[in-house]
Chains A and B, each alone.
Chain A
Amino acid sequence: DQQVKQNSPSLSVQEGRISILNCDYTNSMFDYFLWYKKYPAEGPTFLISISSIKDKNEDGRFTVFLNKSAKHLSLHIVPSQPGDSAVYFCAAGGGNTGNQFYFGTGTSLTVIP
Chain B
Amino acid sequence: ETGVTQTPRHLVMGMTNKKSLKCEQHLGHNAMYWYKQSAKKPLELMFVYNFKEQTENNSVPSRFSPECPNSSHLFLHLHTLQPEDSALYLCASSQVGRGKGEQYFGPGTRLTVT
Contacts and interface: CB of A to CB of B under 8 A. Distances in A.
Interface residues of A, number: 25
A32 B107 contact: no
Nearest to A48: B102
Contact of B48 (A49, A99, A102): A99
B114 to A, nearest CB: 21
A54 to B, nearest CB: 12
Contacts, number: 54
B105 A4 contact: no
Interface string A64-86: 00000000000000000000000
B42 A103 contact: yes
Question: Chain A CB within 10 Å — which of B4, B55, B105 has the most?
Answer: B105
A49 B90 contact: no
Interface string B69-110: 000000000000000000000101010100011111111100
A106 B38 CA distance: 12
Contacts of B108: 42-43
B86 to A, nearest CB: 17
Contacts of B105: 36, 43-45
B53 interface: no
13 contacts: A36-B105, A43-B6, A43-B106, A44-B43, A44-B90, A49-B102, A89-B43, A93-B100, A99-B94, A100-B45, A101-B45, A102-B42, A104-B42
Interface of B: 1, 4, 6, 31, 40-43, 45, 48, 50, 55-56, 90, 92, 94, 96, 100-108
Interface of A: 2, 4, 32, 34, 36, 41-46, 49, 51, 89, 93-94, 98-106
